[in-house]
Structure 1
Amino acid sequence: MTAQHELRLLPWAGPEGKPCYLDTDGREGFMSRLADHIEAEQLGMAAELLGQSVQILDNETEDLEKLRLVAAQLTGALRDVLRVATSRGQRLAAPE
């Protein structure tokens, strides 16, 4: 097993919300490709949610329950995007 700074942070959490890491030498393996696909999906969903949120926040007549739902969804999307950014940043710093 490699040192933790060489492990890839995966775009999902494990049990109890703990981070999951992948120990691999290549980016072409099944788990690496799955992680790449999930990262792309998470970023796409976050972009869509941002667009919807702007519309909801611009509407002054939205009820409090809908605003809370949007805030909860944005929180989850931000958590995912931060995990993707952290993972990609760690891989940029690691030698090939």
Structure 2
Amino acid sequence: MTDPQHARLLPWTTPDGKTCIVVGDGEGAVSRIADGVEAVQLDMAEDLLGHADEMLADRKTTFPELHYLARQLSSSLREVCRVAESRRVRLPRRER
């Protein structure tokens, strides 16, 4: 018996911003690459938060630096939300 096939939201989009998915049992090469990309995205988000804390504590941080930080935080949050959505969909449903 084979494992059931499921659609998985991938942690990247096409060059024009369209959603990418893979259909499979979650054990294929694309799923393993996606797992690695998600891990990197989450690690980078954590590092960025630490950097943000340091910059926000420093009163000498300039407006352009804060603007750049906000752009990076926004991008990182978008990635983390995509990872969370992908993982939420893959969680087994619990009966209430």
Q: Which residue of 1 aligns with 2:37?
A: 38
- SS for the counterpart of 2:60 is coil
Q: Which stretch shifts more, 11-20 or 71-80?
A: 11-20
Output the CA distance in 2 between the equivalents of 1:22 and 1:58: 42
Q: Which residue of 1 aligns with 2:86?
A: 87
In angstroms, what is the RMSD of aligned CA positions? 1.2
Q: Which stretch shifts more, 14-23 or 83-92?
A: 14-23
TM superposition shift of 1:91:
0.3
Greater relative contact order: 1 or 2 (C-alpha under 8 angstroms, separation 6 or more)? 1
- SS for the counterpart of 2:12 is strand
Amino acid at match of 1:14: T
Q: Which residue of 2 aligns with 1:69?
A: 68
How many residues align structurally?
Answer: 88
Q: Which protein shows a greater Rg?
A: 2
Gaps of at least 5 residues in structure 1 are 1-5
Q: Find runs of 4+ consecutive structure 1 residues off by over 2 angstroms.
A: none
TM-score, structure 1 length as denominator?
0.86
TM-score, structure 2 length as denominator?
0.86
Q: Which residue of 1 aligns with 2:3?
A: none
Sequence identity of aligned pairs in percent?
A: 44
Hey, which of these two has a bigger chunk of strand by percent?
A: 2
Output the CA distance in 2 between the equivalents of 1:52 and 1:20: 30
